[in-house]
Structures are given as structure tokens and as C-alpha cells.
Amino acid sequence: MALRLGQVGYGYWGRNLLRVFSGAKGAEMVVACDASPDSRAALAADYPQIEILDDFDKFLARNDVDAVILATPAGQHYDQAKAALLAGKHVFVEKPMARTVPEARELLDLSRESGLTLMVGHTFLFNDAVRWVKDYIDRGELGEVYYAYFQRLNLGRVRQDVDALWNLAPHDVSIAHYWFGEKPVSVQAQGASFLQPGIEDISFLSLRYPSGRFANIHVSWIDPSKTRRAVIVGSAKMVLYDDTSPDMRIVVYDKGIDRKRLDTALSDYKTYDQFQLVQRAGDVWIPRIQFREPLKLEAAHFVECVTQGTRPLTDAQNGLDVVETLVAAQAAHQPG
């Protein structure tokens, strides 16, 4: 029997989610819900076969919905995810999972106590290029990993309900945690609002990890060009990830600075501390990556986890880790 799905929200991102979930193998989209008359009209035109509701409580009371897809504004995620879990529904919720650490932790506890799947929409962890880098790191190809930096910039899609930190940074925070395999121990942040009082348009984050690695993240929706790139630097190699490139999403640089030991006969040169720093420049290569649509992979993963009872890659713990980092950044924030 197919997993019966219902979705709440048919805005900008909700349209993408409904498209992939309604086509997911092993699932059937039964009903969709949105409070906006315009969104319901668009739903009726795009998906005439799906029943459409305007009330969340009526939606949640349905017995023919096994799992709920939440594509609503960030401020509604906690209340709606909690209500859905209490109603016995599996939940896929867009990022961020919640806006506070206690809320996120409560959702984690609820999902564990109920045995229900709670998965968070950290879509970039289903990006084949991001996964390629993770595998490359885990195989030790980079050598000792030093640091990474991220840029997620664009002009437009200015939000009024959340700032650039909460809207854009969850993507790169989740990637940094995923690549490094750990959570940060300290967070620093700085940002500024220019267009709307109290809603920051840019943010700079610096994350320090237990291993000594660190990541810098720059997000903005008032930048002249669309940029989605990251660089990760290791002792052996360096990798550039560019999500906007059609054919060069990953570029590997076999270059760096090597520590060469001096001959013991030169031990009098104690100011060199027995080694020299030698620049190394090797090949630059572009690996071939079979790129699939991350959203489709994400939807298929959720259906598989619910039907087989397996743990999602972006489970509630993963969602809590990201929320903790964002809250720490907010607490450490220094206005620009």
C-alpha cells in the first residue's frame, strides 16, 4: 500500500515540494492545505486530482493521511510539526525545524517517544556534489582538513518573516556539519539590516569545531550576483564546490604547503625549527559527477525511511544541531 501524504503550504517552495512528493515512488499525495485563496486556486489548477482544504485542524484530523509535508513559514514549523506528531503522523518539515532550541529538542523527543519519523528539509545534503566532497574527505584524500568557507549570495527573494541568517544559513551550516562530522563548540556572528528594520540582509558566521577546524559562512540577499560556492582546504588537496556551475560543480586542486624536514646535518639552523615550508602545485581536475535532482532524492529518502522504519540522514537530531548553531549565532551576534 502506498504511503498516503498530505502537504501544508503551496507557496514558492511548497510548489517544488508538492511536485517531487506527488511523484515519489511508493507514495500518494492525497490532500493539500493552504489558508490563502490564491494558493488554493493555484493548487486546483495544478493538481485537480488532489483534495484541497483551507483549515489545518481539519487537515490533521483526516485518517487517510500517514505523513505530513510542512512547507509553511518558519514561524509555524514548531506548532504544526508538534501537532502532526501528536496526531500520529510522520512529518517532513522544511528548514529550520524550529526557531528555538527548546522547541527543536521537544520535537526530537516527541518523534523518539512516538516512534514516528521526523525529517528536516536540509536539501543540500542530498546534493550529489556535496556528497562527493563528503566521501572525498572521509577517504582522507584532502589529508588533514584545515577549514572551509561558504558563500550563499543573491539579489532578491527578500523575506519579511525571517532574516538572511535563518533563511539562508541553514543550508551551509548543515553542509559544514555534514562534511566535518561534528558540531561547533563556538560560534561568532555579525550582520546588518539595510532594507527593513530588525531584519538583517547579510550575515557572517564563524564556526569553530572540536577538532580545531573552522568554517566561515557569508549569506546575503542584497548581493549583485547569485553565488553558491564553498572551498574546503586540507593539507594534501583543496576542493572548490560551485553549485551554480553547469559542468564544474567540483574542482580539485592538488596543491598546498608541505613541511619538509631539514637534513640533520643542518641542525645548526634552529630558527627553521628543523623544517622548511615548501609550496606544492600539482594537477587541477574536474571529477565527473552523475548529478540528480536533490529534491527528488530527498523525497524518496523520506518515503523510504517511513516505510522501512530507518533513520533519515536529516533527522530531528540533525535539525536540532542546525537550530542550536543558528541560535548561538544569534546570541553572539554583533550588529554591523
* CATH assignment at residue 206: 3.30.360.10
Kindly tell me if the per-residue pLDDT of 272 is higher than 60: no
Q: Are strands 90-94 and 118-121 parallel, antiparallel or unpaired?
A: parallel
Please tell me which residue, 176 or 275, carries the higher pLDDT value: 176
Indicate whether 135 and 108 sit together in one domain. Answer: no
Q: Show Cβ contacts of residue 197 under 8 Å, excluding neighbours closer than 6 positions.
A: none
Strand partners, 251: 240
Indicate whether 119 and 182 sit together in one domain. Answer: no
Indicate whether 85 and 138 sit together in one domain. Answer: no
Residue-number span of the structural domain to which 93 is assigned = 3-124+294-313
Cα(97)–Cα(82) distance, integer angstroms: 11
Cα(284)–Cα(272) distance, integer angstroms: 31
When mean pLDDT is compared across 16-25, 251-260, 280-289, the lowest value belongs to 251-260
Q: How many CB atoms lie within 10 A of CB 292?
A: 12
Residue 105 belongs to a domain: yes
Kindly tell me if the per-residue pLDDT of 228 is higher than 90: yes
Indicate whether 174 and 248 sit together in one domain. Answer: yes
- The phi and psi torsions of 193 (rounded to 5 degrees) equal -115, 130
Indicate whether 51 and 147 sit together in one domain. Answer: no
**Mean pLDDT score, 286-313:** 97
What's the number of CA atoms in the CB half-sphere (13 Å) around residue 73?
9
Indicate whether 174 and 120 sit together in one domain. Answer: no
Kindly tell me if the per-residue pLDDT of 269 is higher than 60: no
Residue 103 belongs to a domain: yes
Kindly tell me if the per-residue pLDDT of 150 is higher than 60: yes
Q: Where are the beta strands (DSSP E) in the chain?
A: 3-8, 27-33, 51-53, 67-70, 90-94, 118-121, 145-155, 186-192, 202-208, 214-220, 222-234, 238-242, 250-261, 275-285, 333-335
Kindly tell me if the per-residue pLDDT of 235 is higher than 80: yes
pTM over 0.95: no
Q: What percent of the chain has pLDDT over 70?
A: 94
**Mean pLDDT score, 72-92:** 97
Residue 267's pLDDT is 52
Cβ proximity of 111 and 319 under 8 Å: no
Residue 208's pLDDT is 98
Q: Show Cβ contacts of residue 57 under 8 Å, excluding neighbours closer than 6 positions.
A: none
Q: How many structural domains compose the chain?
A: 2
Residue the block writes with cell 522547541: 103
Q: Show Cβ contacts of residue 273 under 8 Å, excluding neighbours closer than 6 positions.
A: none
Residue 318 belongs to a domain: no
Question: Each residue of 156-181: pLDDT tens digit?
Answer: 899 998 999 999 999 999 999 999 99
Cα(200)–Cα(31) distance, integer angstroms: 36
Please tell me which residue, 131 or 198, carries the higher pLDDT value: 131
Q: Average pLDDT, whole number, for the chain? A: 93
Residue 167 belongs to a domain: yes
Cβ proximity of 145 and 215 under 8 Å: no
Kindly tell me if the per-residue pLDDT of 275 is higher than 80: no
Indicate whether 13 and 106 sit together in one domain. Answer: yes
Cα(150)–Cα(203) distance, integer angstroms: 12
Residue 320 belongs to a domain: no
What's the number of CA atoms in the CB half-sphere (13 Å) around residue 62?
21
Kindly tell me if the per-residue pLDDT of 264 is higher than 70: no
The three cell numbers locating residue 128 = 550529489
